[in-house]
Amino acid sequence: MTTTLITGGAGFIGSHLCERFLAEGHRVICMDNLITGSIANIDHIRDPKFTFIQHDVTEYIYVKGEVDNILHFASPASPIDYLRMPIPTLKVGSLGTHKTLGLACAKKARYLLASTSEVYGDPLVHPQPETYWGNVNIIGPRGVYDEAKRFAEAMTMAYRRFHGLDTRIVRIFNTYGPRMRLDDGRVVPSFIGSVIRNEPLTVFGDGSQTRSFCFVSDLVEGIFRLLNSKEMEPVNIGTEYEMTILDFAKLIQKLAGNSPPIVMKDLPIDDPKSRRPDLTKARQILKWDPQVSLENGLLKTIEYFRGQQAS
**Is residue 224's pLDDT more than 90?**
yes
**Is residue 119's pLDDT more than 80?**
yes
The chain-wide mean pLDDT, for the chain, equals 95
pLDDT at 189: 93
pLDDT at 308: 85
Over residues 228-255, the pLDDT tens digits come to 999 999 999 999 999 999 999 999 999 9
Full set of structural domains in the chain with CATH: 3-175+214-240+280-286 (3.40.50.720), 187-209+242-275+293-306 (3.90.25.10)
pTM of the model: 0.96
pLDDT at 310: 67
**Is residue 185's pLDDT more than 90?**
no
pLDDT at 311: 65
Strands 110-116 and 69-72: parallel
pLDDT at 268: 79
In terms of pLDDT, which residue wins out, 52 or 266?
52
Mean per-residue pLDDT for 145-159? Answer: 98
Q: What band does 292 get if pLDDT is binned at 50, 70 and 90? A: very high
pLDDT at 255: 96
Written as one string, the DSSP assignment of the chain is --EEEEETTTSHHHHHHHHHHHHTT-EEEEEE--SS--GGGTTT---TTEEEEE--TTS-----S---EEEE--S--SHHHHHHSHHHHHHHHHHHHHHHHHHHHHHT-EEEEEEEGGGGBS-SSSSB-TT---B--TTSTTHHHHHHHHHHHHHHHHHHHHH---EEEEEE--EE-TT--TTS--HHHHHHHHHHTT-PEEEETTS--EEE-EEHHHHHHHHHHHHTSS--S-EEES---EEEHHHHHHHHHHHHT--PPEEEEPPPTT--S---B--HHIIIII-----S-HHHHHHHHHHHHHHHHH-
**Is residue 137's pLDDT more than 90?**
yes
AA letter at 303: E
Respond yes or no: is residue 60 known to be catalytic. no
pLDDT > 90: what percent of the chain? Answer: 89
**Is residue 309's pLDDT more than 80?**
no
Q: Active-site residue among 82, 111, 120, 145?
A: 145
Q: What band does 215 get if pLDDT is binned at 50, 70 and 90? A: very high
